[in-house]
A and B are shown apart, each in its own frame.
Chain A
Amino acid sequence: MRLLEVSDLEAGYGDVQVLRSVSLHVEEGEIVAIFGSNGSGKSTFLKVLIGTLKPWGGTVKFMERHVEDLPPEERVKLGIALAAEGRKLFLGMTVEENLLLGAWVKKEKAKENLERVYSYFPELYEKRRELAGDLSGGQQQMLSIGRALMSEPKLLMIDELSLGLAPAVVDRLANILTRIREEEGISMLIVEQEVSLALDISDRAYVFDLGEVVDEGRSEDLLRRDSIRKTYLSVL
């Protein structure tokens, strides 16, 4: 079943258009990666999906249902979660409180999921009584992802997956995500700059440029595609 189906999405800020006719879909149980040039509208796209930015046009269907007019909190209830760029953490609350709040729409399973997230990120367990605002940059990133996991979403969206994370943590995270997908069938939509990583863990990927989808396909195929190799893999 198509979990998420976006067609012809247009969006922007003020009168500056950022997204132009973006269409994209995510199947159930699939991990989809988005990469592409900076400023091409990836974060904007996720903002529209979670609902903190209103689209100008186009449709967003989640589980066959139109959600483009729902406020964010309703979408979260339906099973979408976002670990946002800029993190949007509750800096003045403790790490544990931040995580618990992630379970707002799944309160009955809060305790259980807390354990789970702590097992993924022991760093957070150590810091659970400290304020989120006092965490290091990378720790905040972990917290943001951990919080998104707390609601047991059907679709997990992560902006800048590896941002500021140490290599060891990135590896661990990659493992965790593939495992969660296998065990729980959660779908994911991931924005990641590190293209080899993105293609490593995803089934399919989209390439954004200047607000448009310029390329898409199965990750293995893209990895082999020359244009991609040239622009994104061989530069360093």
Chain B
Amino acid sequence: AAVSFTGKYAKEGELLRRGYELWKETVNRRGGIKIGDKRYKVEIIYYDDQSDPKTTAKLVEKLITQDGVRFILGPYGSAQVFAAAGIVEKHKALMVQGGGASSKIYKQGYKYIFGVFNTAPDYGKNLIDLAVSLKPKPKTVAIIYEKDIFSEDAARGALERAKEKGLKVVLFESYPKGAQDLSSLMIKIRAKNPDIVIGAGHFRDSVLVVKQLKQFKINPKFVGLTVGPPVPAFVKALGKDAEYIFGPVQWSKAFNYKDPLFGDTKGYVEAYRKKYGEDPEYHSAGGTAAALALQIALERAGTLDVEKVRKELLKMKVETFYGVIGFDETGKIVTKPMAVVQIQNGRPVTVYPFKEAEPVYPKPPWE
């Protein structure tokens, strides 16, 4: 796998790697993957793509041509996945990924790419669905997004759903990748004073958006960020300012499913807690799930032949700690729901559609 250890997506990349590592250790402790009659120990080669898709492409090329790898666990970030996909496809290797949610990945007619994430528009849609269900009903929304494949997708999802639900979209605007100062956008938002602010971006931007909203004394009733809130580091970085911010999740530990490797969702959470000393969130879970799907397909195929493994993936419909895993012919997962969490008292709690707690709304002003 080529994963971001450094760069913009260092945080998410690290979480993803934890998911892979947990899976690897668990499988190896169990004796490895059983393919046909043999048992194989799992070994994962990692390279750091520095959060740069071009590097990802180069590294995947290297993994395949130089290291002779045939089965690839995906990188973090839709652009990275997108970049890697072309290369994997070119060499007819196989990639299962839990790091890219852009719908564009599945529109290329690729055959060897599978993903365990719901696609990005769902992130935005879930946030809006929650917002309009709250009282008093918000009327205006500002959507800002990072100019990248995933965030744009997510933002468009939100835009579409907001229009459907009769919200007035007062701002829909992007900022470039890697931006570290959003003053101009903030000035705009401040002038529009919307009820809802949706920020589609990644971990770094989430922190930045919150900081600058505060700096510019902007007080919307509802702040939703696509990536960030469920990650423990989010609260660590922002402290009190993180309170009451919403974020969609692919998965949460509130899910409840059976699992062939960890027993059930609880078993997974415990294993994770034991190894890393904190609760897992969906990035890690996505990683584990992707690896798990690959493992199951390998075992069912009973061979290392890429074509046969691919067939098994297409046929698959198994219940795991992560939800039911099953793909359509484009490689996209089609069998699991998403959720929304809110930070309350320094912890992300699931508030929609399953309710660990009631959402707090409207959000009180910054201190």
Does A touch B (CB under 8 Å) in the complex? no
Interface residues of B (CB under 8 A from A): none
